Amino acid sequence: MINSENIPNGFFSSALKSGIKNNDYDLAIIKSEPSSVVSALYTQNKFQAAPIIFSKKNDKNKIDLLMVNSGVANSLTGKKGYDNVLNIADFASKFFKCKKENILTASTGIIGVHLDIEKIKNAIKKSSLNKGFDNIVKAIQTRDKFDKVYSTKLNIGDKIANFYAIAKGTSIIHPNMATVLLFIFTDLNIEKEALNKAFRVSIDKTLNRISIDGETSTNDTAIIMANGLADNKIITEKDKKSFKLLKNKLDEICANLSKMIVLDGEGITKTIIVSVKRAKTQKDAFEIAKSVAISNLIKILFISLSPNYEKILSTVGNTNINIKNLSLSVNGINIYKNGELNNNKSDINRLRESFNKERKEHSIILD
């Protein structure tokens, strides 16, 4: 959902064709005026890319500039890869008149390839920052088939805060983030500690709960920048009403972008939403849902249009979670309850019909 009225104030950007991806947009530059407080999360893969190592040193500071390139991941590139990030950041700091410590970077693309820093520097020289985010989403993409953009607003007291969010990702998608870049820009006025907590909770409930191929990457980055120009009373955790409104808004943004990522997954013909209700703990619920979501047995079940739903129970039974009084429904049809499979012919026929080729979205609910 994109609404031009929801563009946050104080952000200026440039989408550039540096030549890394031939004649496609491959460099996004976003400047915040005034500086933004930020919250940033990164892949938990042990081999973190050079731009992440650089950004982790700066994300406690207020941020003036975010630079994102696509086409080359600058991952597994050793000291030279990190030195290239420093070189580009130093050049950009002088060009855009900010400190290197107030810059964040992110990259996506081919692993093990060094950035062509001269191409990026030349593109920076030609850049012209404009209000808004024209083509920024295209500059962060690799194999995405459609743009992943979401804009919205939040009423805080008598003020309105605007949000503009973009993401990329089609493969190597799995909890703990994946080959995902996600950026949210807002003019909300918020304390950094409150932003950190709200953002982490939302990412945990959204980006960290999608899976396509069970793999995670070296470059995954999620960042939110808030520059305060909405001029609302600053949000803190103590302001429970406003803090809850923010958490709900971030859940909305991240959930919508996460679903877009899954729908754009490479080789995807169907999506399955797995819900677990009334587990003893959130951790148990997540472990059960994850075991179902990543099961090749269950993926084959839906791809082959075969309603052998007892295989779902087999997968759940392999978890280390103590399960009692389980009921299971697929596509809204209850098929297991009180220890017995549902053998009602009418229900079974409805389930079989729900597995048709045209249906793209399916649901599994474990209660």
CATH of the domain at 29: 3.60.70.12
The binding site comprises 142, 168, 179, 266
Exactly one of 152, 179, 206, 221 is catalytic; name it. 179
Asked if residue 230 and residue 301 are part of one domain, the reply reads no
Say which range, 38-47, 167-176, 289-298, has the weakest mean pLDDT: 167-176
**What is the DSSP code string of 34-71?**
EEEEEEEEE---SS--HHHHHHHTTTTS-EEEEEEEEE
- Worst-scoring range by mean pLDDT, 25-29, 97-101, 311-315? 311-315
pTM summary value: 0.85
Given CA atoms 167, 170, 171, 173 in this order, what sign does their dihedral have? positive
Q: Based on the domain organization, do 242 and 300 belong to the same domain?
A: no
Q: Which of 208, 229, 263 is the last residue of a domain?
A: 263
pLDDT in tens, 70-107: 999 999 999 999 999 999 999 999 999 999 999 999 99
Active site residue 186: no
Average pLDDT of the residues of the chain: 90
Cβ burial, residue 348 (10 Å; 0-12/13-18/19+): middle
pLDDT for the residue 366: 93
Residues 252 and 346 in one domain: no
Task: Pick the last residue of a domain from 201, 232, 263.
Answer: 263
User: Based on the domain organization, do 240 and 308 belong to the same domain?
Assistant: no
Most confident of 97-106, 135-144, 218-227, 327-336: 97-106
- Per residue in 335-344, pLDDT (tens digit) is 899 889 998 9
Q: What is the CATH number of the domain that holds 287?
A: 3.10.20.340
Domain's final residue, options 211, 228, 263: 263
Both 290 and 155 in one domain: the answer is: no
Residues placed in the known binding site for substrate: 142, 168, 179, 266
Q: CA–CA separation, 312 vs 305, rounded Å?
A: 14
Same domain assignment for residues 294 and 246:
no
Residues 121 and 95 grouped into a single domain: yes
- The answer on 281 and 254 residing in a single domain is no
Domains contained in the chain, number: 2
Residues 223 and 350 in one domain: no
Q: Are residues 93 and 192 in the same domain?
A: yes
Q: Say whether both 49 and 115 belong to one domain.
A: yes
Residue 66: give the domain boundaries. 4-263
Do 137 and 172 have their domain in common?
A: yes
